[in-house]
Amino acid sequence: MNALPLSLADRTVFVAGGGSAGPGWSIGRAASVTYARLGARVCVVDRDAASAAETTALIRAEGGAAETFVGDVAEEAEIARLFAEAREHFGPIDVLHHNVGIGKTGGVLDTDVRDFDAAHNVNVRSLLLASQQVLPSMVERGRGAIVTVSSVAGLRYIGYPHLSYSVSKAALIQFTRMIAQQYAGSGIRANCVVPGLIDTPRIAHTVAKQFSADSLDDARAARARQVPMQRMGTAWDVAHACAFLASDAAAYITGTELVVDGGITGKYA
Ligand SMILES: NC(=O)c1ccc[n+]([C@@H]2O[C@H](COP(=O)([O-])OP(=O)(O)OC[C@H]3O[C@@H](n4cnc5c(N)ncnc54)[C@H](O)[C@@H]3O)[C@@H](O)[C@H]2O)c1
């Protein structure tokens, strides 16, 4: 017998953003694989068909159950189609893992309003669309879990302006708390994972640029030095927190934030 009820056997998980911005382990990919290792059927959803298919292939190679669904979760018509296809394939969704996140760096005067809107649409508004898809059947079945992925940038100023991203990630935290309050009596839990500085392929495109370093490795090292634990987190560090919150091991946990950051939030308190 397992000491903790971490199993997700016979559960279907919808991972919005299960691909990766580049080769290697993104948070959505590591979470998808972790859910499958715990026995879940995983709907790997991403607008990047090739990277979603790669996640699905990794799961299947380990004997897990996964299917790829390609589309933009920030578009109303697309998300209705994606959920219809996912339900058709694996049945009702037990866990929604809201992983998509975008954002350009910049402060008030150098943030284009279109980029601000895009960050809001992908990071926050898409949770409204996805929640509207999953909550009715979760209520009907009397169970469900929603795990959202915010960022320490939604809690603190982390050393450089990342306005559209930070504001949307802050909104995501409160959105998650609101779902939790409204649906706690219906057997549905909603919690937010708040990652710190995580070493995923995406940082090569975005945050590494904030460090005046000659190479990506130097930028990664500078980023690691910011963290009290002296290392960036791995996608697995975050995935494990997501899996805990999605599972019955977190049966009495709702409306909270689980910060996975090697101590960096305390440093900027
Ligand atoms: N990497 C970090 O340091 C870090 C830190 C804190 C929070 N986060 C958050 O964790 C999450 C995952 O980060 P990551 O570093 O693994 O990033 P990532 O870019 O590799 O993963 C996000 C995935 O979402 C997909 N996606 C984006 N918009 C989409 C849309 N509209 N429809 C469908 N798919 C879409 C992308 O194609 C990508 O595969 C994001 O929400 C990010 O903001 C990351």
Domain residue spans in the chain?
Answer: 12-200+234-259
Q: What is the DSSP letter of 264?
A: H
Does ligand 1 lie within 6 Å of residue 21's CB atom? yes
Residue 264 CB–ligand 1 contact under 6 Å: no
**What is the residue whose two structure tokens read 């919690």?**
191
pTM over 0.75: yes
Cβ neighbourhood burial of 39 (10 Å; 0-12, 13-18, 19+): middle
Measured in Å, residue 2 CA sits from the centre of ligand 1 at 32
193 Cβ inside 6 Å of ligand 1: no
Nearest atom of ligand 1 to the alpha carbon of 29: 16
Q: Are 203 and 234 in contact (CB under 8 A)?
A: no
Q: How much is the pLDDT for 216?
A: 84
Q: Ligand 1: distance of its center to the CA of 1 in Å?
A: 35
The helix-helix angle for 163-183 and 126-141 (nearest 10°) equals 20
pLDDT tens series, the chain, 269 aa: 679 999 999 999 999 999 999 999 999 999 999 999 999 999 999 999 999 999 999 999 999 999 999 999 999 999 999 999 999 999 999 999 999 999 999 999 999 999 999 999 999 999 999 999 999 999 999 999 999 999 999 999 988 899 999 999 999 999 999 999 999 999 999 999 999 999 999 988 776 666 666 788 888 999 999 999 999 999 999 999 999 999 999 999 999 999 999 999 999 87
Name the residues annotated as catalytic: 165
Q: What is the CATH number of domain 12-200+234-259?
A: 3.40.50.720
The confidence score (pLDDT) of residue 213 equals 65
Distance of CA 7 to the CA centre of its chain: 20
Distance 140 CA to ligand 1 centre (A): 30
CA distance 29 to 52: 8
CA of 87 to the centre of ligand 1 (A): 23
Phi-psi region of 45 (alpha: psi -120 to 50; beta: other; left: phi over 0): beta
* pLDDT for residue 14: 99
Whether 68 lines ligand 1, by a CB cut-off of 6 Å, is no
| Burial of 133: CB neighbours in 10 Å, binned 0-12, 13-18, 19+ | buried
